[in-house]
């Protein structure tokens, strides 16, 4: 199926590996022009080199630490100078520290919000004017199932991402008149370096093999397994596509059925 996004300009942040990388890869497979960023210059250039081998266009890459507003400003300047506009913005970020509320310090909150919330506002604001001019745009916020079903020690993620859920719904109403569709994707447990690290540290804390933790998590999921980054990327690409032209203000959970509520 042709998803109708050939030649569209896509920016994916936090994309040197994991979900961001797979989203960039899926967009390239659809013939989109892709820009990616992450903190490490070495990682992001390596990722761009690998991705460029598979797509029709060379991938544009630049390092940017999302927690630094000067980096975010520079990233947006560079991408907009290079392409002139962004058609599809995928706001993905690094994952925050996990801790219970009582153990979370004001510095932890600041680091979490500076990385997960503030840059998302800035990037979104920068892409809107051209999308409005072009009467076409897609903004997708990568959040988490934890906004629907909070999990132990996930307070920073749930709190920051719930604010983004509110932003997503608000913007979908505000921008619909310009054919800019705004949605959020809620990944469930997906086997990336981040979930490997979390699983390893839980295993260490409980002094059990990693497989025990992995199996416990898989058991909570009706499909009985972690998702893959490719599976998340496929859903994001569909939402960004022309085929999803009547979907805005939605929250798409991609979680193997893990969320327990009916809607
Ligand atoms: N995997 C899951 O099960 C899951 C489920 C729900 C939600 N999520 C969320 O989805 C996001 C991506 O997760 P993932 O599993 O893909 O993680 P990952 O495999 O660890 O990849 C994280 C990516 O973020 C980049 N990054 C980290 N901090 C950054 C910062 N301050 N500024 C810019 N880039 C940064 C990293 O590159 P550099 O090191 O080069 O910066 C890397 O490319 C996270 O927010 C995570 O919490 C993940």
| pLDDT band for position 27 (cuts 50, 70, 90) | very high
Is the pLDDT confidence value at 125 over 90? yes
pLDDT attached to residue 98? 93
pLDDT tier, 163 (very low <50, low <70, confident <90, very high otherwise): very high
Question: 53-64 pLDDT, tens per residue?
Answer: 987 789 999 999
Q: 3: helix, coil or strand?
A: coil
Is the Cβ atom of 18 under 6 angstroms away from ligand 1? yes
Task: Give the count of alpha carbons within 13 A of 174, CB side only.
Answer: 12
* Cβ of 43 less than 6 Å from ligand 1: yes
For residue 1, name the pLDDT band (cuts at 50, 70, 90). confident
Report whether pLDDT(223) > 90.
yes
Q: Which atom number of ligand 1 is nearest to the Cα of residue 65?
A: 32
pLDDT (average), residues 61-86: 98
Closest by CA to 185, choosing from 155, 222, 227, is 227
Atom of ligand 1 nearest to the CA of 64: 33
Residue closest to 22 by CA, chosen among 142, 124, 146: 142
Separation of CA 178 and ligand 1 centre (Å): 31
* pTM: predicted TM-score of the whole model, two decimal places: 0.98
Q: Which domains does the chain have, with CATH numbers?
A: 9-189+228-254 (3.40.50.720), 191-226 (no CATH)
Tell me how far the alpha carbon of residue 133 lies from the centroid of ligand 1, in angstroms.
32
pLDDT recorded at residue 229: 98
Q: Which residue has the tokens 């719904």?
A: 169
Mean pLDDT of 154-182: 98
> Which residue's C-alpha comes closest to atom 2 of ligand 1?
190
Residue whose structure tokens are 């920068």? 126
State phi, psi for 91 to the nearest 5 degrees. Answer: -85, 95
| Residue 12 backbone class (left: φ over 0; alpha: ψ -120 to 50; beta: rest) | beta
Nearest CA to ligand 1 atom 44: 95
- With 90 as the cut, is the pLDDT of residue 157 above it? yes
User: Do strands 137-142 and 88-91 pair parallel, antiparallel, or not at all (unpaired)?
Assistant: parallel
Q: How far is the CA of 134 from the centre of ligand 1 (A)?
A: 31
């Amino acid at each position: 199926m042709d998803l109708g996004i050939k030649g569209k300009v896509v920016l994916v942040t936090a994309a040197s590996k994991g979900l961001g990388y797979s989203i960039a890869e899926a967009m390239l497979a659809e013939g989109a022009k892709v820009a990616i960023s992450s903190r490490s210059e070495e990682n992001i250039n390596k990722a761009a080199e690998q991705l460029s081998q598979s797509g029709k266009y060379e991938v544009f890459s630049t390092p940017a630490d999302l927690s630094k507003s000067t980096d975010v400003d520079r990233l947006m300047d560079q991408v907009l100078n290079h392409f002139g506009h962004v058609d599809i913005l995928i706001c993905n970020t690094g994952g925050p520290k996990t801790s219970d509320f009582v153990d979370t310090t004001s510095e932890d909150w600041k680091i979490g919000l500076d990385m997960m919330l503030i840059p998302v506002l800035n990037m979104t604001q920068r892409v809107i004017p051209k999308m409005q001019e072009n009467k076409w745009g897609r903004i997708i916020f990568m959040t988490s199932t934890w906004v629907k079903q909070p999990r132990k020690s996930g307070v920073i993620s749930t709190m920051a991402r719930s604010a983004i859920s509110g932003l997503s719904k608000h913007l979908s109403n505000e921008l619909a008149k310009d054919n800019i569709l705004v949605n959020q994707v809620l990944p469930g447990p997906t086997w990336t370096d981040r979930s490997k690290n979390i699983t390893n540290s839980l295993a260490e804390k409980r002094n059990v093999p990693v497989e025990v933790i992995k199996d416990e998590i898989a058991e909570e999921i009706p499909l009985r397994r972690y998702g893959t980054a490719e599976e998340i990327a496929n859903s994001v690409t569909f939402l960004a596509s022309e085929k999803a032209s009547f979907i805005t203000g939605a929250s798409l959970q991609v979680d193997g059925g893990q969320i327990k509520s009916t809607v």
